[in-house]
Amino acid sequence: MTPTKLDQANDLFEEKNIVGKIMINTSKITLKEHTSILKYLVRWTLFIVPTAIAIGSVVAFFLWLLTEAIHFRFHHPWLLFLLPLAGLLIYFIYQSVGKSSEKGNNLIMEQIHIEGGGVPKQMAPIILLTTVVTHLFGGSAGREGTAVQIGGSIAAMFGGWFKLKGVDMRMILTAGIAAGFGAVFGTPLAGAIFAMEVLTIGRIKYDALLPALIAAVVGDLTVSAWHVSHVHYHIDAVPQTVYFLSDYFHMDIVLLGKVILSSAAFGLASFLFAGMVQEVKSICLKLFKKNWMIPVSGGLMIIGLTFLIGKPDYLSLGVDAEYAGAVTIPSAFHTGGADTWSWLWKTIYTAVTLGTGFKGGEVTPLFYIGATLGNTLAVLLDAPVSLFAALGFIAVFAGSTNTPIACTFMGVELFGGQYALLFAVACFTAYFFSGHSGIYSAQRIAVPKIFGEYFSEESSLSEASKRRGYLHQKLKKYSSVFSKKE
């Protein structure tokens, strides 16, 4: 029996009715979903903007004060002789009012891992003061650690005011790291990615992506609003090299090979730096029964090294020149702007300074080490000096912090996007060659760099450092000797 036109019309009406109901239900679901997204955006924007403004303002004050302290020492070089006393002052500050803050960046990372908010409010003013003291008297340190601790401390304080707990507190702490990092270097995109990438090797959790990006951008804008500027770097034009394969490839394969070779050296320099800082700490703890003697000895070593070398180039940040012709980060971008072993001397200076209890960050010294090593390698490999200084600048940092993605974006933000591919090659290569080492012992290992028996058992850099290196084995031997004497 064939269906009548009336039956066909009824069937068509029912189909349209069903489709209409589905569309209505779908629109309701979509509307509900996007309403939730809008609420989330508004909520976190209201949380993050005032927090990031506060962080950016404190970082701006810190950068201004740090510059004033460094230039004051330039005009009063005798302040270097007071570095041991400055170390003693820093030691007693932390023993009296800052003991809970002494773990610094690692404390913030630990609190994020356990979804806690145990970052003390006094961390920000204490690290700001002690970092300025370190640089005022000539210690070789950076400023990133200070900015991150300022960001984490202020974020934890605002999180308490907003009554955030658990995952929400973890997210605002991550945003605090992003704000501090983006503000201190003027690299908001790298700051946002760094805050998420630095927590765990091999895994990025994107739940804090939006808060971190908002915080980094607002923090950077706040520093700019306070008229605090950053150093600008420039890569000179790289001439086109003609060789027998030029007609077959759209890029310079010979230059790429030189970049890969140099990047392996950058990774090894990262490994050396992280290991030396840790070993200096361990050796000093074994040698001195009174802990206050450690910063005093560190200050004396820095004075002795400066007299041995005969110039103050490796003191403090290494950004501004104390005299014409000094080796600095900007000078490393020019031919003849660094000595052959400048990178090694800065490694030693910074390892002694931070390893004996002085405060500051590691990142700006890592920039110095990378840029000067890049300068040296460019001469050896007949490569463009400014390009290789820039590659070393970001690659040694990438290897030391295990953040190759963030450092690639930092290269683009600082030097432009023309050499983005080479930035990525340098950062990723250095990341692998640095092994399971780094400047943050609280950094967890979710995915090992290489799957193998040697690496797979390590769950954090703290564990990895315990069974690494010749000096560590010697320290175990000395430790057993001391215990027998006792």
pLDDT at 96: 87
Please indicate, yes or no, whether residues 123 and 259 belong to a single structural domain of this protein.
no
242 occurs within a structural domain: no
Instruction: Give the model confidence (pLDDT) of 238-295 as tens digits.
Output: 877 766 666 667 778 889 999 999 999 999 999 999 999 989 998 998 988 889 999 9
Q: Is the pLDDT assigned to residue 8 strictly greater than 90?
A: no
Residue 115 has pLDDT above 90, yes or no: no
CA atoms within 13 A on the CB side of 56: 31
Question: Is 451 a residue whose pLDDT tops 80?
Answer: no
User: What is residue 342's predicted lDDT score, i.e. its pLDDT?
Assistant: 96
Name residue 445's beta-bridge partners: 201
Please tell me which residue, 71 or 472, carries the higher pLDDT value: 71
The Cα–Cα gap between 374 and 469 comes to 26
Point out which residues pair with 201 in neighbouring strands: 445
Instruction: Judge whether 244 lies within some domain.
Output: no
In this structure, the answer to whether residues 259 and 296 fall within a common structural domain is: yes
Give the lowest-confidence range in 318-327, 412-421, 434-443, 472-481.
Answer: 472-481
Pair 203, 324 in one domain: no
278 occurs within a structural domain: yes
Residue 109 pLDDT: 86
Confidence of residue 34 (pLDDT cuts 50, 70, 90): confident
Helix (H, G, I), strand (E, B) or coil at 166: coil
Question: Does residue 17 sit within a domain?
Answer: no
Domain CATH number, residue 104: 1.10.3080.10
Mean pLDDT on 474-482: 50
Q: Single out the residue in 183, 210, 225 at which a domain terminates.
A: 225
> How far, CA to CA in Å, does 189 sit from each of 45, 374, 412?
17, 24, 10
Q: For the chain, what percent of residues have pLDDT higher than 70?
A: 84
Pick from 173, 208, 225: which residue ends a domain? 225
pLDDT at 27 over 70: no
Residue 23, pLDDT above cutoff 80: no
Give the mean model confidence (pLDDT) for residues 166-182. Answer: 93
Confidence check: pLDDT of 297 > 80: yes
Does residue 472 have a pLDDT over 80?
A: no
Q: What percent of the chain has pLDDT over 90?
A: 65
Cα–Cα distance, 341 to 380 (Å, whole number): 13
Q: Residue range 96-101: average pLDDT?
A: 76
212 and 344 part of one domain: no
Whether 217 and 322 map to the same domain: the answer is no
Q: Is the pLDDT of residue 30 over 70?
A: no
Instruction: Flag whether 61 is in a domain.
Output: yes
Question: For 351-398, how does the pLDDT look when each residue is reduced to its tens digit (9 = 90+)?
Answer: 999 999 999 889 999 999 999 999 999 999 999 999 999 999 999 999
294 in the same domain as 187? no
| pLDDT exceeds 50 at position 150 | yes
Q: Which amino acid is at 45?
A: T
Cα 249 to chain centroid, rounded: 35
Q: Are residues 269 and 368 in the same domain?
A: yes
Provide the number of structural domains found in the chain: 2
Domain boundary among 225, 245, 265: 225
More confident position, 84 or 249: 84
Q: Is 75 contained in some domain?
A: yes
User: Is there a single domain that holds both residue 435 and residue 330?
Assistant: yes
How high is the pLDDT of residue 485? Answer: 45
The residue count for the chain: 486
The pLDDT, as a whole number, for residue 470 is 45
Do 282 and 170 belong together in one domain? no
Beta strand segments in 339-415, E: none
Per-residue pLDDT at 110? 84
Q: What is the DSSP string of 217-285?
A: HHHHHHHHHTT-------PPPPPPPP-TTTTT-SS-HHHHHHHHHHHHHHHHHHHHHHHHHHHHHHHHH
**pLDDT at residue 5, rounded to an integer:** 60
Domain assignment present for 180 = yes
Domain assignment of residue 369, given as a range = 253-477
- Give the model's pLDDT for residue 441: 84
Q: Is residue 152 part of a domain?
A: yes
- Tell me what pLDDT residue 121 has: 85
Rounded to whole angstroms, the Cα distance separating 189 from 415 reads 14
Q: Are residues 199 and 64 in the same domain?
A: yes
pLDDT of residue 198: 93
Of the candidates 395, 465, 462, which has an alpha carbon nearest to the alpha carbon of residue 430?
395
Are 217 and 259 within one domain? no
pLDDT of residue 1: 45
Exposure letters 286-301 (e unless 16+ CB within 10 A, then b)? eeeeeeebbbbbbbbb
**What are phi and psi for residue 445, nearest 5 degrees?**
-115, 105
Same domain, 260 and 219: no
Which residue has tokens 């927590």? 199
Per-residue pLDDT, 482: 43
- Reported as a pLDDT band with limits 50, 70 and 90, residue 120 is confident
**The pLDDT value given to residue 9:** 57
| pLDDT grade for 449, boundaries at 50, 70 and 90 | confident
